[in-house]
Structure 1
Amino acid sequence: MRAPKRCAPSSKTSWRVCVAPPAFAASLRNLFALRFAGCAPHHNTALPAMTPASPLSKATDMASKDDKNQPVPPRPRKKKPEGEASAQGVKPDEKVEVIRAPKPPTAPNAPKKDAPKSEAPAAQKEAAKKEEPNAGMKFGDTSATMDDFAAMFEGHEAAAPSRQRFDMGDQVEGTVISVGSSHIFVQIGANQEGVADRAAYEDEEGNVTLEPGQTYSFYVLGFKGGIQLGKELGAGRQGMAAVETAHDTGLPISGRVTGTNKGGFEVDLSGVEAFCPISQIELGFTEEPDAHVGQTYQFKVQEVRDGGRTVVVSRRALLEAQQKEAREETLKTLEVGQVLDGVITRVADFGAFVDIGGIEGLVHVSELSHTFFDHPTDLVKVGQEVKVEVLSLEEPVGDKPIRIGLSMKATEQDPWLEVNEKFAVGTRVLGRVVRLAPFGAFVELTPGVEGLVHVSQMSWERHVANPADVVSVGEEVSVEVQDIDLLRRRIGLSMKTAEGDPWANITERFAIGLEVTGHVAKVEDFGAFIELGGGITALLPRSEMNLASESTPHRQFTAGQEVKARVLNIEPDRRRMALSLKDAETIAEQADPSKAAPTSYKDDSLSSGGSMGTLGDLLKARKKD
């Protein structure tokens, strides 16, 4: 039986107009049929007219679309005392009696109903109603009211599972249900599931980093075929939707730097071209822009204009936010003496700046290393990970930020603690020349330990005026330890003693009358100094030059000239040797005691009588002249 479109309600009945979802259309249709099944047309009474906007009219019009073409039956007329107002003027406190149609006839062959059972207690009836809200409402039950309908509808609505609404870009927590060959299934609500791309959560070896049963954070990427999830916006989908969502929500989006242009970088945001100013690609000054090309970073969408044709992004904004958060955490626990891991951010002539967790500290050039270096760039470079120790903390004053003094050297073992174990006076070692000074050369014996070779200890062969004439930076030399001062961290070295004293076996190397070849090192009025090599320099006296009467040593000899001479005399104790240009026979006669050969240098120019004298006497006499 179809329900009539109108039926007079009771004055105590509370009408509700509910707009049900399409899934409940059938339930609503049956419900109204249940409610109005017993309302048959009454031919002898006239029903009061109802306004078109009455609640009952709305509810019954929504109950069944099939009744639009059915004729409207006459409405039952209310019973009222004479002289009272019509139905339109019924007061709220007055009772309105509804004349209901008789019950439908029973079929002749219908089974007889069982005898009525004893009524259960009221408490049991109430419990049964709670457990089964619609148990008391049966088809054709004329006692059902709209309150019963409302209770039934609310119970149905409460029993229906609730579903949460998500928007693209939302960050949600979800529990991994299972991991498939290409997708990861995630539960993100009481009865909702999402799907994530497996490839986005695989490591370099292809292993999935998510474990079933564990809860992780995801981003809602879309709703095609279900709720699409991912670890970041832009992953797994392309187009302006991701860019606009990232711009509206402020969430980061993944992008790849594809090239450089005037003033910045070209960035690919999953198919959307964007521009990143050069000042927004990193925290500091960008010295090598090409180093960022090909890199994939997280960006913040700062501006979307012209319908998406102009998109401006910034990486620096995200880095600053991360730095601020890390800075606050670092300052909570920072103290002097603490050893931290850091990253070199800048290198200057006076030291290196190190990021120790959102905040920078300075490693002075004197605290970089125990080893010698010309410039900080010889030891460290930007991006290098280092270990530092906090030396000092200066509280901020005014606009000046906190100043943190760091040391890399303090984290290394002091090499001077092992100097006495490795070196002793008289030890000969091989070292490397690390730098030169006007007074000598510094030689590195072991990393962090250096010694000084004074110019006077560089060579036996000549007087050294400039250390660069003897050694060069980077050259390996043999030195002998002469002195160790641990308090002042100084070690005295000698290259001369390491080579050995050339005068120790001079008589074995040179004999009287032996012809030798050398080069003129210096020319004086009294003679010429000849370098014979191996640290030996001999004097060729003027008297042994066979000069003409008006000739002088300067006229006959020049510096660097090769000279052939013979050994005239050797004095090992005084480290002196005399040469002569005379022939071997003459020299032999001078050396023969029987022929009163001179035992020292002779200068005929001093006296015509041929008086003898030493080389020292000869030099003194020349100075007096």
Structure 2
Amino acid sequence: MANAMAHMTLEDLDELSGGLNAPVAVRRLEKGAEVTGTVVATRGEDVFLDFGVKDQGVVPRNHFGKNEDVSAGRRVDVVVERHDESQGLWVCSRKGAVQRATWLNLDRGMTVEGRVTGLNKGGLEVDVQGIRAFLPASQVDLHFMKDISVLIGEVVRCEVTEVDRRGKNLLLSRRRVLEKEAAEKKAVLLTELEIGQVRTGRVRNVTDFGAFVDLGGVEGLIHISDLSWRPVGKVTDIVDVGQEVEVKVLKIDRERDRISLGLKQARPDPWTGIETRLQEGMSLRAKVLRVADFGAFAEVEEGVEGLIPISEMSWSRISSVADAVKVGDEVDVTVLRLEPGKRRMALSMKQARPDPWAGVIESYAPGMTVKGTVSRLETFGVFVAVAPGVEGMIHISELSDKRVRTCDEVVKVGQEVDARVLSVDGPKRRIALSLKPAHSAAPEAIEAAASGRRAERKDRPRRGGLSSDWDWMGSGLGRG
């Protein structure tokens, strides 16, 4: 260092530093201060800096890259290590640079470089230029590493956390170096991030409510509702830890240090232009995604789904959605209604099939006998399949001339029966059937007989001297 300074005259330093008459910048340098100096000269392994009048310093050349520019006039950020009284210079190090380690200059806060040589209980052994050091497992990485042995043989940059010169013990932290680097990256990235940008990141963690993505020093959250245009049951159905993803920046809260990201927003909205691809009346193939009491939601394109109401699942009456479809089924549907603005679509399964009732009504007439198979039993009666997709109903009172408590006393599901047609209601798609013998009284006769009895009761004087012209039966109060 002295030899280097010996070749420089006061005029040389004065010329490089801006002259003796340059404005004086008053500052107080001390150990640990982070300052910016101007390169005034390079001599051998030393780079000389000027911090203002009467404040010069020196930093090792190896703190710069092999091809890095260290020409006079360049501004350099450094950290003050100590003051060399004999030379009148501040000895500095490059901010964040790896320093040459010896037991004499080792100190807390120094950044050193070493090679991982082995694994022991609790951490890693590191060789720092011939000095044996210990790197605890908790200080190996920013996040928990399940297998730290993968670093054996690797060169790592660490910060000195403890120095015991007498016991020759050196404790390191790689985590602190990574934290500083991450903080620097984060500061730069936060100034560059803008709402609407599309960035590439890696999924760092997955929770029930979303996924955290590392954008390269800054983490953002993709809420579960922003993972996909289709409904998401579990976050892991869409992304996994370690997966690389493209996301869109939705919101930045710099005060709370929060960033909201969207995975689906980085992809085209499937509902955009849907009216040019789908029209009402169009037949499609759809996949059932989920079911509810009132119907089923089916996907016709990725991210585009519609509702199949229970009333549109079958031409026949069904009591529950499960009678017609289940999750995962692929079904043929017809588009009934399309509302792109509301992102809604109504679908029909039955409209995609021929109407089984077409022409059937005309084929049945009261009094004729038809063959059918009992399809289901209800408390009030029995449903009988008389044709594919066409059912008739036998009321419990029409199952037998005898009193019937439950339908299964007379028939079973799957049983074939010969039933007599009582009535046909075309608009309501209903066929009333009976198992009673044909000689039984017809409903009209039964009703006429009942009317006669009511008339007789109406004219008969009330017992106990009571009489009334009020039609008890007609009012409904006298009906059982």
TM-score bucket (shorter structure): 0.5 to 0.7
**Quick check: 1:519 aligned with 2:380?**
no
Q: How does 1:542-561 map to 2 (within 5 A)?
A: 542=396, 544-548=398-402, 550-552=403-405, 554=407, 556-557=409-410, 561=413
Change (3 A) 1:551 1:477: closer
Aligned pair count reads 365
Letter in 1 for 2:224: V
Of 291, 300, 309, 2:158 maps to 300
Paired with 2:136 and 2:374, the residues of 1 have a C-alpha distance of 72
Which structure is higher in RCO with an 8 Å CA cutoff and minimum separation 6? 2
Instruction: Give the equivalent residue in structure 1 for 2:175.
Output: 316
Q: How does 1:283-432 map to 2 (within 5 A)?
A: 283-284=142-143, 286=144, 289-290=146-147, 293-294=149-150, 298-300=156-158, 302=160, 303=162, 312-396=171-255, 401-432=256-287
Partner of 1:319, secondary structure, is helix
Partner of 2:150, secondary structure, is coil
Percent identity over paired residues? 32
Partner of 1:415, secondary structure, is coil
Letter in 1 for 2:232: F
Letter in 2 for 1:513: T
Contact residue 342 and residue 386 of structure 1 kept, 8 A: yes
Instruction: Give the equivalent residue in structure 2 for 1:252.
Output: 113
Contact residue 543 and residue 602 of structure 1 kept, 8 A: no
Give me the TM-score of the superposition, normalised by structure 1.
0.48
Write out per-residue CA displacement over residues 354-384 of structure 1, whole angstroms, 9 at most, x where no aligned residue.
2223222233333222232112222222332
Q: How does 1:572-583 map to 2 (within 5 A)?
A: 572-581=426-435
Change (3 A) 1:385 1:554: closer
Partner of 2:271, secondary structure, is helix
Q: How does 1:458-497 map to 2 (within 5 A)?
A: 458-465=313-320, 467-497=321-351
> Aligned-pair distance for 1:522?
0.9
Q: Which runs of 5+ in 1 are unaligned?
A: 1-161, 176-231, 234-240, 591-596, 612-620
Partner of 2:379, secondary structure, is strand
Change (3 A) 1:404 1:544: closer
Contact residue 503 and residue 575 of structure 1 kept, 8 A: yes
Change (3 A) 1:173 1:293: closer
Paired with 1:423 and 1:468, the residues of 2 have a C-alpha distance of 28
Contact residue 523 and residue 529 of structure 1 kept, 8 A: no
Partner of 2:299, secondary structure, is strand
> Aligned-pair distance for 1:269?
5.9
Q: How does 1:189-338 map to 2 (within 5 A)?
A: 250-255=111-116, 265-266=123-124, 276-284=135-143, 286=144, 289-290=146-147, 293-294=149-150, 298-300=156-158, 302=160, 303=162, 312-338=171-197
Larger Rg: 1
- Normalized per residue, which structure has more helix? 1
Partner of 2:276, secondary structure, is helix
Write out per-residue CA displacement over residues 366-411 of structure 1, whole angstroms, 9 at most, x where no aligned residue.
3222232112222222332222233333341xxxx43333322322
Instruction: Give the equivalent residue in structure 1 for 2:312.
Output: 457
Letter in 1 for 2:116: G
Paired with 1:472 and 1:420, the residues of 2 have a C-alpha distance of 28
**Quick check: 1:529 aligned with 2:383?**
yes
Paired with 1:459 and 1:499, the residues of 2 have a C-alpha distance of 9
Of 282, 302, 309, 1:447 maps to 302
Change (3 A) 1:461 1:337: same
Change (3 A) 1:572 1:253: farther
Partner of 2:273, secondary structure, is helix
Instruction: Give the equivalent residue in structure 2 for 1:50.
Output: none
- Normalized per residue, which structure has more strand? 2
Q: How does 1:107-186 map to 2 (within 5 A)?
A: 171=63, 173-174=65-66
Contact residue 566 and residue 581 of structure 1 kept, 8 A: yes
Letter in 2 for 1:568: R
Give me the TM-score of the superposition, normalised by structure 2.
0.61
Paired with 1:608 and 1:551, the residues of 2 have a C-alpha distance of 22
> Aligned-pair distance for 1:321?
1.8
Contact residue 371 and residue 417 of structure 2 kept, 8 A: yes
Paired with 1:607 and 1:257, the residues of 2 have a C-alpha distance of 105
Change (3 A) 1:380 1:605: same
> Aligned-pair distance for 1:311?
6.1
Contact residue 371 and residue 386 of structure 2 kept, 8 A: no
> Aligned-pair distance for 1:422?
1.8
Write out per-residue CA displacement over residues 225-257 of structure 1, whole angstroms, 9 at most, x where no aligned residue.
xxxxxxx99xxxxxxx99989976523334388
Q: Which runs of 5+ in 2 are unaligned?
A: 1-42, 47-59, 68-96, 453-475
> Aligned-pair distance for 1:415?
1.0
Write out per-residue CA displacement over residues 421-464 of structure 1, whole angstroms, 9 at most, x where no aligned residue.
22111112122222233332221111111111222223333333
Partner of 1:523, secondary structure, is coil
Partner of 2:206, secondary structure, is strand
Contact residue 159 and residue 174 of structure 2 kept, 8 A: no
> Aligned-pair distance for 1:483?
0.8
Instruction: Give the equivalent residue in structure 2 for 1:565.
Output: 417
RMSD: 4.7
Paired with 2:142 and 2:362, the residues of 1 have a C-alpha distance of 73
> Aligned-pair distance for 1:496?
2.5
